[in-house]
Amino acid sequence: MSAKVIDCVAIADEIKNKLQKEIETLKKKGVTVGIATVLVGEDFGARMYRKQIEKFCDEMGVQYTDKNPPADASEEDVVKDVKTLNETDSVSGIIPLRPFPKQISDYAIINAIALNKDIDCFHPYNMGKLTLGEITFAPATPSACIEILDREKTNFEGAEICVVGHSNIVGKPISILCLNRNATITTSHVFTSMAGNLAKHTTVADILIVAAGKAGLITPDLVKEGAFVIDVGINRVKLLDEDGNPVLNDKGKPKSKTVGDVDFDAVKEKAGRITPVPGGVGAITNMMLMRNAVKAAKIQHGID
């Protein structure tokens, strides 16, 4: 039987409506919810992400502030910019958009963000609190995974969960959030695969959360029958026709499409529940960021 495909867009819309009402109510109390991004230079991926943040701020009536120092800006100047944002009342949350140019260390910028404006939980203090289970802001993508699991009434206690990926911003915090809820966690990563052990861990998981950035990594043989599969990956791949040849656009260039890390069509025949890509975790991630921005604005204005 084919898996239940989780309608993440509907979940995101529902959260969006709720947050929009909350943002309006705060506005009436004189509280502005605002998000600022810090992008140094012109990195393509970071610019795309900035565009997306600007768009959902606009849609939701949230003030957006763009700090975009040039690629040759000094670390000191960017830290100064962050400190200015820390002092700006209409900025509730600050999101550093990486990668930064070589002369700027991630940690210098992240450490400069005020703890109560760190809405994607980059600061080591907030990550430490997350690890201890005393969460101020859980990072957006891991929160989106938890939101999906909660809405599907997951009992975390003792659940066998395998996370594929151990990055500081996705894999690790997802593992910690699940561990805080007393799940049994295996965190696998590229070295697990290189040691030939990935299947050993993924095939016993009732919940498989994949954040590797490798299209097609998870095939049905890596999935337990009936498992809940959450695909965090976002990859651009060439669109192929039935014979495996690239599909070309009007200009003769190969068309591309967005896929996750899971071979969706094949895995959905074995999994019990599955999230799609696109229209999956990413849609909810944006709303988790916005939820944190609202929370930050409330903290900063002493509102419960």
Summarize as ranges the residues that interact with ligand NAD (CB under 6 A).
141, 164-167, 169-171, 188-190, 192-193, 198, 211-214, 217, 232-235, 281-282, 285
136 vs 285, beta carbon nearer ligand NAD: 285
Q: Of the two residues 260 and 272, which places its CB atom closer to ligand NAD in the complex? A: 260
Cβ 73 to ligand NAD, closest distance in Å?
24
Complex with ligand NAD: residue 114 or 279, whichever CB lies closer: 279
Q: Which is nearer to ligand NAD, 213 or 220 (CB)?
A: 213
- Shortest approach of ligand NAD to residue 193 CB, angstroms? 3
The residues, ordered by sequence, that sit 6+ positions from 212 with a Cβ below 8 Å of its Cβ are 164, 165, 189, 190, 233, 261
The nearest distance, CB 280 to ligand NAD, in angstroms, is 7
Among candidate residues 144, 90, 98, 96, the one with its CA nearest the CA of residue 119: 96
Nearer to ligand NAD, 31 or 38 (CB): 38
* Cα–Cα distance for residue pair 77/40, rounded to 1 Å: 11
- Nearest Cα neighbor of 291 from 97, 125, 146 is 146
69 vs 233 by CB, closer to ligand NAD: 233
Q: Are 236 and 255 in contact (CB under 8 A)?
A: no
Residues 6+ apart with CB under 8 A from 291: 15, 19, 143
CB of residue 247 to ligand NAD, shortest distance in Å:
22
Peptide bond into 99 cis (omega under 30): yes
134 dihedral zone (left: phi>0; alpha: psi -120 to 50; beta):
beta
State the minimum distance, in angstroms, from the CB of residue 240 to ligand NAD.
20
Residue 124: asked if its preceding bond is cis (omega within 30°), the reply is no
Q: Which is nearer to ligand NAD, 23 or 198 (CB)?
A: 198
Q: For residues 164 and 285, what is the distance between their CA atoms, to the nearest angstrom?
A: 18
Query: Do the Cβ atoms of 215 and 235 come closer than 8 Å?
Result: yes
Instruction: In angstroms, give the least distance from the CB of 212 to ligand NAD.
Output: 4
CB of 257 to ligand NAD, least distance (A): 14
One-letter amino acid identity for 164? V
